[in-house]
Copies of this chain bind each other. A is one copy, B any other.
């Protein structure tokens, strides 16, 4: 999706002095901790890219369309990152730790793209939100098959793997979002918190797979409909 037409030499017309990617880059330069994508104006992006406002329409119909392209790119970047993290993980260290570390690492380096994916899934148009949701679900699905595979390999059970994946994903993303407002030196601390949280979830799902799911938690009295 959002493919660039290949540079066939047989097409008439003027040589494009600017490309979609240039516009995306210009938009990226403008977003930041205080500037959300949905608050960018068409003219602003055009100005940053050094073109006339109307030239924008040659590449995108809307700012919304640009935003979705941005999300796509952020998603690709994230998927690449996670792929690498997974590769590193199975070799030496735990998935949890190395994934979290890779995530936080990317958070510092590639800040803007992650920013978009993390924080702006809640505002904006429907198309915008769906695009973010799609990337989240992608992340989630990959994590799910990973979890199942690892659980089988290690002989540990896993209760409701899909929900485990969902919980972990959402947790990583929100924690990452809040980490972005913190000074760089506190990122390691947040990463450590994330690792502990994820371990709790994993220990929980394993215990529940081993001993059966409890019908109530620490707060409630025993219930009658507890499963045998």
Q: Which A residues form the contact surface with B (CB < 8 A)?
A: 34, 36, 38-39, 89-90, 92-97, 118-120, 122-123, 125-126, 129, 133, 147, 150-151, 154, 156, 158-160, 163-164, 166-167, 170-171, 173-175, 177-178, 181, 193, 196-208, 213-214, 216-221
Residue of B36, B39, B207, B213 near A207 (CB, 8 A) is B207
Known: A123-B119, A166-B197. Contact between A218 and B151, CB under 8 A? yes
Q: A154's closest neighbor in chain B, by CB?
A: B218
A interface: dominant SS: helix
Known: A122-B177, A220-B94. Contact between A200 and B154, CB under 8 A? no
Contacts of A159 in B (CB 8 A): 200
Contacts of A93 in B (CB 8 A): 216, 220
| A119 shortest CB reach to chain B, Å | 4
Counting chain B CB atoms within 10 Å of each CB, the highest count among A200, A216, A219 belongs to: A219
Q: A196's closest neighbor in chain B, by CB?
A: B163
Known: A96-B219, A181-B129. Contact between A214 and B199, CB under 8 A? yes
| A193 shortest CB reach to chain B, Å | 6
Known: A94-B217, A129-B181. Contact between A200 and B167, CB under 8 A? yes
| A153 shortest CB reach to chain B, Å | 8
Instruction: Please report the C-alpha to C-alpha distance between residue A206 and residue B218 in the assembled complex, in whole angstroms.
Output: 9
Are A193 and B166 neighbours in the complex by a CB distance under 8 Å?
yes
| A203 shortest CB reach to chain B, Å | 4
Contacts of A214 in B (CB 8 A): 199, 203
Instruction: Please report the C-alpha to C-alpha distance between residue A137 and residue B97 in the assembled complex, in whole angstroms.
Output: 25
Instruction: Please report the C-alpha to C-alpha distance between residue A221 and residue B164 in the assembled complex, in whole angstroms.
Output: 21
Q: A162's closest neighbor in chain B, by CB?
A: B193
Contacts of A197 in B (CB 8 A): 163, 166-167, 201
Known: A119-B123, A122-B177, A197-B166. Contact between A218 and B202, CB under 8 A? yes
Instruction: Please report the C-alpha to C-alpha distance between residue A28 and residue B162 in the assembled complex, in whole angstroms.
Output: 36
